[in-house]
Structure 1
Amino acid sequence: MKTYLYLNQLAVLFLFLCSWQETTAMLMAQQTKGVSVPKLENPVNRQYLQHNLRKSHPRLVLNSAIEKDLKRKIKSDPVVKNMYGAIRLNAVSIYDKPLLERIQTGRRLLGVSREMLYRVNMLGMVYRMEKDPAVLKRLNDELVAVCNFTDWNPSHFLDVAEMSLAVSLALDWTKGDLPKATEELAIQSLIEKGIKPSWPGDGKNPDWAYGNNNWNQVCNGGMIAASIAVAETVPDLAAKTIYRALDGIPHALVEYMPDGVYPEGSTYWEYGTGFSVITIAMLESAFGTDFGYGSFPGFKDSALFRLLCNAPTGWYYNFADCGDRRGFNGDGILAWFAYKTGNKAFFEEERFLVPVDKMSKLERLDGSALVWISQYREKDDARLPTAWKGDGSNPIVIFTGEKEDPHRYYFGGKGGRGSVNHGNMDGGSFVFELNGVRWVVDPGNQDYNSLEQTGFDLWSNCQGCERWTLFTKNNFGHSTLTVNEELHAVDGLVTIKDFNNGKTPETTLEMTPAFQGLLRSAQRQFRKDSPVSLTVEDRIEITEDTKLVTWQLTTTADVELVKDGAVLRQDDKSLKIENLSHPGLSMSVVSLYPAPLKLDRQIVGLKRIELRIPAWTVENKKTSIRVRLVEN
């Protein structure tokens, strides 16, 4: 398989800190990918902290009024009572575990930081509700253990951020009850191992502070928590750190614009958005305002994106570096959006009411999520759209059936480009489910650490970079078009050209940029032409450089090639793939199991169905490829 090598030179602009006010003022003018970045209200300085920061504790997520209401709801509200029971059960399980040690996995301490955040959320919430001395002792032991680490791994700052949030919550939710020595140790650790490493001594701004991905949300959120926790001890350091965070966060939030699509995929939505909502909750409890964070354009719209990415089979629409399937428990992050909007669709009541011994291990922010679960009041039961599009840097389209659709119809298609955060060369790709089977699959994500340990360069995204040798990342592993057996253009943005959400919804993607001269034009249309079918039509115009156009579909179903198409079989069901446009050409099957490379993800039964169209068969340089997927 040959590829053309395109070398992109990246210019990095370093801004030096003459003072923190001057630097942030300069960065206010910065733009993200040509999009103007709206700013949050940001009055934070030392004087603002002194006059506006809540003096009493708790003040992170909880405050006296919220806590009083929560205690009442635990007794009176079945959902809150059940979820608190689950938190309590999780807290009890922690006693059987050893205290945490500073053990890295590759370049990350992240697993340890996340486990600490989980333990604090479970133990800390139980302590706030019950004031049990045994819980306090365990929280004390946990704090002493992690605060005595030599550091929190600042070279991978996500680790520092999650640990800082954990220690800040533990310190705040036990304020005045821990031994004085532990409180002093925790405060000094937040300053020396948390906040200070976020201000590099070389005068450069950390990349994440004004970045446009989840690192911005997680790291700035962790630094806000730490700064509130130590504000009385180091007010100047706390003020400038919160100021930088409020100034930098919008550079990540623009990625939600305009419609709420999170470009890194649904599981990364949970990560980045989870840290955003807990940061908003901390700002509101500590200052009485979120500084406009929660009303940022596109942010609340992302709840619909998250919900629509949950397919009927339990799979996610797992584009980008997204996990495959959602968990069994209720979505605590989505519950924040239910609280803020009153929309019942975002409140997974049935899952929150599952018997606690049937739930899986709770998520690490679920202790805090109990607060917004308790604050939810139904105001709206909005009907979910059965055809929806979201524009942005990684645009997607979703078609579904009605709520009680007997066929459980689900289609997800996308544009985008490889160079988006956690992106793949998957512009024009799609997934398709019918009758409880995912017939067309996305190969999804694979473990980062196992790749990194081999020296594999997973994170560089130039045209010829190593990332694109993996079939989970390149176009050869996705249900899209490939020309001349070449990679898609890494910066070739595939966009939504038009969209119709009528009785037979359809959308057209402008795919020409993905081929960078190998095609004169390419548009892909998806059309839900019946409750049990999907038609994919590619209208292309070739150039003198076009040699071969390959139509691709990836599946784990069994495949039988038949005249004018193929039949897929899985779980005692079948789906017909009809070649409507090129009856003179037969489809073929390429096995992707075992995968082409040793480092590729191994997906049992994965294969690629191809319809290969030589350029010499295209009359007048134009052709239309029409393929229909229909219940058999």
Structure 2
Amino acid sequence: MNRNYNSFAFLFLFIFLLVSNCKIFAGFPQKQEKINCMDPLFNKQLLDHPRLLFSIEEENNIKQLSKQDTLLKDLLGLLKLKADTLLTKPILRYELRQKHSDLLWISREHIYRIITLSLAYRMFDELKYAKKAEEDLINVCSYPDWDPAHFLSVAEMTEAVAIGYDWLYNYLSQDTKDLIIKSLKEKALYFAIREYDSGNSDSWAKRDTNWNIVCNTGMIMGALAIAETDIKLTEKIISQGVTFIPNCLQYFTPDGVCYEGPGYWYYTNINLAMLLKSLNDNLGHDYGLSDISGINKTASYYITTVSPSGRIFNFADVISETVNAGPVYFYFSKRFNLPDVAQFYRSILLKILKSPDTFPRWHFFLNIPWYDASISTSVEKPKLQIFDNAFNPILVFNGNSISANSIYLAAKGGAGNMPHQHLDVGSFIVETNGVRWLDDLGCTAADYSLPGFWDYTPLTGHRWKYFRYNNFSPNTLSIDNNLQYSTGRGIILRYNKDSDRPFGIIDMTTVYNNLATKVQRGFMLLADNLALIQDEIGLTSTNRQIEWTSITNATVTVNGNRAVLQKGDKSFYLRIISPADATFATSVAKTNSSDEAPIINYYLLKTTVYPTNETDRTIRVVMSSDQDAINDDRLIGSLTPLLNWN
């Protein structure tokens, strides 16, 4: 009797503890196929797997939608094709890149592999995909580390492993789960706790760049994936991570510009999208992160700066001028009800499906879980759109897009000493008829290894010795052949979007420290096919000269105060209205040293304003693909000082 009673008491006690306080067992390995722990995460019941990015309900909805949505069905076809290709790919060995000493490329490849294979398993219910994904997960979890010296590598590997663990939870063996849990904690999450507790303001967790968003997102996703194994660890990771995220997001205010430039816009925002989705799905809120000024506008900003030819406004450290075709657009279009953004992205996907080899791997197939079929009702783009920002304010002009020779012009302010920036305050790009006439050299990946490349010191910073990164290559001004002052700022002084001649004026004065008392650059759309760039400079001495520079990869012909740019059978015309005696000159664009990546088939088109007995100088240049438009002499009498632009 006693033995039976004791057995019953022990069984009752065991069941009571298991149901009422799962955290007692949280520190011990548990061989269970389905989580049923009532221990709350921030007082909210922990969700079953899958809990990251793509719920079972969303999965069922996508499967139903694919029966009637041709584009989604075709994306699923591409997913299957690419997942089948991965089945025969060998595992990737642990290998730090010699040039950069990091594991990042392997982490990113695993984001692609594990999303693709795990999603294929969920959508097609074929075990071969899960089996291959498990092989990759075991492989990376057997690495000695995930390269903590370069924490972006850790963060992205954590995202990959977290998604694989979560999406394949009911397939993975318990041994594999235990290995993943151990790896996520020891190779990532414990590092994060130490960083949160003792890292300085420049640590990856707390700095104000893309590193903050990427690394904190990785840690939060990793913690959420295995939350049932240590609720307190998960709560601490989330609490600390979301505290520091605004250090970066604050700079998106007010209109969504990513101050690091369009090259880092995608990288920052795909991670932000995964973070917001993970928090909202699991906690029911995102700590107000999505309410930070500019976040709801950032996708609209980006697509507006994609030109009619399909190229981005490639200022700052942008390695490719191609639009990133990742899935971030669908997240933002759904989250903030932006059908224009969804429609934009679907047009990108249609192009990719016609040329499947051009798809960007990485997070690409998240476009299936996040698919947005919403339709835009917008008819015509505004003539001028403003995206203000403390560091990189942007102006975008659109002529009537259905008219021949219609102009697209995007211009910027700037802040040269901010991460990934160039001395390009006041620069702009111009397109007509699907051709980019005045361009930006952007950046090349090889230049990241140049000596002193990250030295942004005003005037003496080594970064400014390299041609692509100083103000002698972009479409802007220099005074007495001097560098722009990197701690200066180009800000929007005023604008009018509703005028018959919409305009915006950028105050560039502080980037010409000690050289001028005033430097303002005005952009005006005189007509759908005609733009004016007007510079007003108050020099500190009559002995100073000004150089107006633009760069192009078109064939250039100059004739006094006129220039013709040609590509194939298309032409673009520029005319200097003032000074009356100014003329154009052209030269081959080339780097300042053999260390820099070469510049091929680009030309500088310049005009020099020489010293006179006056300190106040005005430069007016009009441009169009319509030769008659710039030859109309009535222009001269209609142009007024910037002060009168209203």
TM-score, normalised via structure 2 length: 0.85
Decide whether aligned partners of structure 1 residues 500 and 451 sit closer, same or farther in structure 2, where only a CA change above 3 A counts.
same
Q: CA deviation at 1:544?
A: 2.9
User: 1:472 & 1:576 partners in 2: Cα distance?
Assistant: 25
Q: Return the match for 1:429 from 409, 427, 436.
A: 427
Q: Residue type matched to 1:580 in 2?
A: I
1:162 counterpart (156, 162, 169): 156
Shift of 1:337: 2.1
Q: How does 1:10-21 map to 2 (within 5 A)?
A: none
Aligned counterpart, 1:278: 274
- Alignment match, 1:547: 544
Cα shift at 1:590? 2.8
1:103-153 deviation digits (Å, cap 9, x = unpaired): 222222111111000111111111122332211110111001111111111
Mapped to 2, the partners of 1:353 and 1:559 lie a distance apart of 36
**What does residue 341 of structure 1 align with?**
336
Letter in 1 for 2:551: T
Tell me the equivalent position of 1:65: 57
More relative contact order, 1 or 2 (CA 8 Å, 6+ apart)? 1
- Taking the aligned partners of 1:423 and 1:546, their CA distance within structure 2 comes to 30
2:438 alignment partner, one of 419, 437, 440: 440
Matched, 1:248 2:240: no
Residue 86 of structure 1 corresponds to 78
Give the corresponding residue for 1:17.
none
- The partner residue of 1:525 within 522, 527, 532 is 522
Query: Using the alignment, how far apart are the partners of 1:630 and 1:361 within structure 2?
Result: 35
CA distance in 1 between partners of 2:613 and 2:104 (Å): 53
Map 1:196-235; keep pairs closer than 5 Å. Answer: 196-200=190-194, 203-205=198-200, 207-235=203-231
User: Residues 40 and 46 of structure 2 are in contact (CA less than 8 Å); yes or no, is this contact kept in structure 1?
Assistant: no
Asked if the contact 2:399/2:527 (under 8 Å) is kept, the reply is no
Q: Distance in 2 between matches of 1:601 and 1:136?
A: 43
| 1:94 maps to amino acid | L
Aligned residues of 2:325 and 2:364 also touching (Cα < 8 A): no
Q: 2:575 aligns to what? A: 578
Taking a change above 3 Å as real, the CA distance of residues 109 and 369 of structure 1, as seen in their structure-2 partners, is same
Corresponding residue of 2:636:
none
State the AA in 1 paired with 2:299: A
SS at match of 1:537: strand
- Which of 451, 456, 467 lines up with 1:461 in the alignment? 456
Question: May I ask how many residue pairs the two structures share in their alignment?
Answer: 579
Describe how 1:122-521 pairs up with structure 2 within 5 A.
122-200=116-194, 203-205=198-200, 207-327=203-323, 332-347=327-342, 348-353=345-350, 356=353, 358-359=355-356, 360-374=358-372, 376-378=373-375, 381=378, 383-392=380-389, 393-447=391-445, 450-453=446-449, 456-463=451-458, 464-501=460-497, 502-521=499-518
> 1:6 maps to which residue?
none
Change (3 A) 1:466 1:354: closer
**What is the deviation of 1:52?**
1.7
What is the one-letter code of the residue matched to 2:237?
A: T
Of 76, 85, 102, the match for 2:68:
76
Alignment deviations for residues 572-599 of structure 1 (CA, whole Å, 9 cap, x no partner): 2222221111232332223214x33223
Read off the aligned partner of 1:161 and give its amino acid letter.
A
Q: What is the Cα deviation at residue 422 of structure 1? A: 1.2
* 356-365 vs 524-533, greater mean Cα deviation: 356-365
Query: Are the equivalent residues in 1 in contact too, given 2:465–2:592 (CA < 8 A)?
Result: no
Preserved CA contact (<8 Å) 1:147 1:189: yes
Cα separation, partners in 2 of 1:404 and 1:338, compared to 1, 3 Å: farther
Greater Cα shift, 233-242 or 302-311: 233-242
Question: What is the match of residue 92 of structure 2?
Answer: 100
- SS of alignment partner, residue 371 of structure 2: helix
Give the direction of change, closer, same or farther, for the CA distance of 1:335–1:191 in structure 2 (3 Å limit).
same
1:284-312 Cα offsets, whole Å, 9 max, x none, are: 22223233222322111111111111111
Give distance in 2, aligned partners of 1:365 and 1:161: 14
Which amino acid in structure 1 is aligned with residue 145 of structure 2?
D
| Paired position in structure 2 for 1:12 | none
User: One-letter code of the match for 2:147?
Assistant: N
Give the match's secondary structure for 2:622: strand
Alpha-carbon distance in 2 for matches of 1:315, 1:330:
12
- Indicate the RMSD between aligned Cα atoms, in angstroms: 2.2
1:546, distance to aligned residue in structure 2 (A)? 5.5
Tell me which residue corresponds to 1:569: 566
Q: Structure 1 residues 353, 525: CA separation in 2 closer, same or farther (over 3 Å shift)?
A: closer
Deviates more, 1:581-590 or 1:260-269: 581-590
Q: Say which is worse superposed, 602-611 or 522-531, in terms of deviation.
A: 602-611
Q: Which moved more, 1:157-166 or 1:233-242?
A: 233-242
SS at match of 2:506: strand
1:88 CA drift (Å): 1.8
* SS in structure 2 of the partner of residue 373 of structure 1: coil
Larger Rg: 2
Name the counterpart of 2:17.
Answer: none
Post-superposition offset of 1:398: 0.6
1:398 alignment partner, SS class: strand
Q: 1:303 touches 1:346 (CA, 8 Å); kept in 2?
A: yes
Deviations for 1:170-207, whole angstroms, at most 9, x for unmatched residues?
00001131121111111111111111222447922462
Q: Which SS does the other structure have where 1:541 is aligned?
A: strand
Structure 2, unmatched stretches of 5+, are 1-37, 628-646
1:89 partner letter: L
Aligned-pair CA distance for 1:468: 1.2
Identity %: 29
1:469-502: per-residue Cα shift (whole Å, max 9, x none)? 1122111111111011111111100101011112
Q: Deviations over 1:513-546 (max 9, x none)?
A: 0101111111111111122221111111111385
Residues 398 and 528 in structure 2, CA contact (< 8 A), matched pair in contact too:
no
CA distance in 2, matches of 1:145, 1:510: 55
Contact 2:413 2:490 survives alignment (8 Å):
yes
Question: Are residues 1:51 and 2:43 paired?
Answer: yes
| 1:127/1:382 CA distance change after superposition, 3 Å | farther
Letter aligned with residue 85 of structure 1: G
Q: Comparing 296-305 with 397-406, which one deviates more in the overlay?
A: 397-406
After TM superposition, give the deviation of residue 383 of structure 1 in Å. 4.8
Whole-angstrom CA distance in 2 between matches of 1:496 and 1:355: 37
Supply the distance in 1 between the matched residues of 2:528 and 2:400 (Cα, whole angstroms).
10
Among 95, 109, 132, which residue is 1:115 paired with? 109
Tell me, in whole angstroms, the C-alpha distance in 1 between the residues paired with 2:361 and 2:506.
Answer: 37
User: SS of the residue aligned with 1:611?
Assistant: strand
Provide closer, same or farther for how the CA distance between residues 113 and 296 of structure 1 changes in structure 2, counting only shifts above 3 A: same
Shift of 1:53: 4.9
Q: Mean alpha-carbon deviation: is it higher for 263-272 or for 193-202? A: 193-202
Q: What is the SS of the residue equivalent to 1:371?
A: coil
Residue 629 (structure 1) aligned with residue 616 (structure 2): no
Per the normalisation by structure 1, the TM-score is 0.87
1:446 deviates by 1.0
Name which of 571, 588, 591 aligns with 2:588: 591
The 8 Å contact of residues 330 and 349 in structure 1, kept in 2 or not, is answered as no
